[in-house]
Amino acid sequence: MHPGIVEKTLDKERIGELISQLRGKYEVIGPKRDGENFIFDFIEGDEIDLSYKTTILPPKKFFFPVEEPIYEFEKVNGDVIIRDVLKAPEKKRIFIGIHPCDIHALMILDRVFGDHYNDPYFQLRRDGTLIAGLTCEPTEYCFCDAMGTGPTIDHGYDLMLTDIGEKYFFQSGTHEGEKILEAKLFKDAGEDDRKAREAKINEIKGKLHSDIKLYGIYEKMRLKFDDDKFWVEWAERCVLCGACNFTCPTCYCFTIKDEVDFSGNTGRRVRVWDSCHFRNFATVAGGMNFRRRRVSRLKQRFYHKLCYSLEQRWVFDCVGCGRCIQFCPTKIDIREVIKAVQGV
């Protein structure tokens, strides 16, 4: 046990009691079932399901929404009045059940929306949200081990949960997390609990056996940039639907649109998720499109994840969550792309 880290356990049958207590102070967000899939959503009752493996959309939608108003405007006596719509939530939020790969993704978005150009809309939500991570249960599409983003993480959270059978092992990451663990629901973790947690993590590592090698990928990707014959295999399969972008926890492209009422006197400016796979994404004034060809748009995503992000932030923008593979209608697999670039 590391100094300063509080470790507790909670019987699984009491997770509902914990959620009820947390809802007195926070808005609670977590995974719940939606038909055959799982989604992250606000938790109003006992619908939280921490046995989930992945969700369709990542946590980013609660910090960088699919669509959000930037400001409202109104024309009064010939003058245009602009009203700010940025408001702090009434309650802080606690996001329970985020896997390590998605926590890494949030830390990448922290840099995107905070390093050079501070985005107040993202930052307000991020500062007002506690993160309670959850040691993952991988799918056949996961490769976080290859990307160095899982199955464990040692920072970026207020609490970290691990399923150890009949109970959850809780570990604090911040003082706010420690305060939550002061509730009488929790019991002090013992040596057997720590051994159970370690065994669980080793079990998960045994399920993750990605054979992807990233050494030298940047240089090899650069050499492949103009080799359209190499990229055509995936370009011919791609239907340019944008599912890979929207399900990705680190994609952050957006467009801006104005919505004006019929009179033209009132309206609002809205930020909306966009996709580099869409035909008009790279269209500029005068109708020039810098990525007119399908292969150019397909390449953009792979190069952003594996090259451009290194130039911008010294990290890969892929965290190995596997959503882009799982929810692609033609099952284009970024793992296959990496292997082909490496000549494996």
By the 8 A CB rule, do 240 and 277 touch?
yes
Boundaries of every domain in the chain: 7-207, 217-251+277-342
Measured in whole angstroms, how far is the alpha carbon of residue 126 from the centre of its chain? 13
| 39 φ, ψ (degrees, to nearest 5) | -135, 155
pTM of the model: 0.93
Angle at 124 between CA 71 and CA 252, to 5 degrees: 75
344 residues of the chain, pLDDT tens digit each: 444 799 999 999 999 999 999 999 999 999 999 998 999 999 988 899 999 999 999 999 999 999 999 999 998 888 889 998 888 878 899 999 999 999 999 999 999 999 878 999 999 999 999 999 999 989 999 999 999 998 999 999 999 999 999 999 999 999 999 999 999 999 999 999 999 999 999 999 999 888 899 999 999 999 999 998 999 989 999 999 999 999 999 999 999 999 999 888 899 999 999 999 998 888 888 888 888 888 999 999 999 999 999 999 999 999 999 999 999 999 999 999 999 999 86
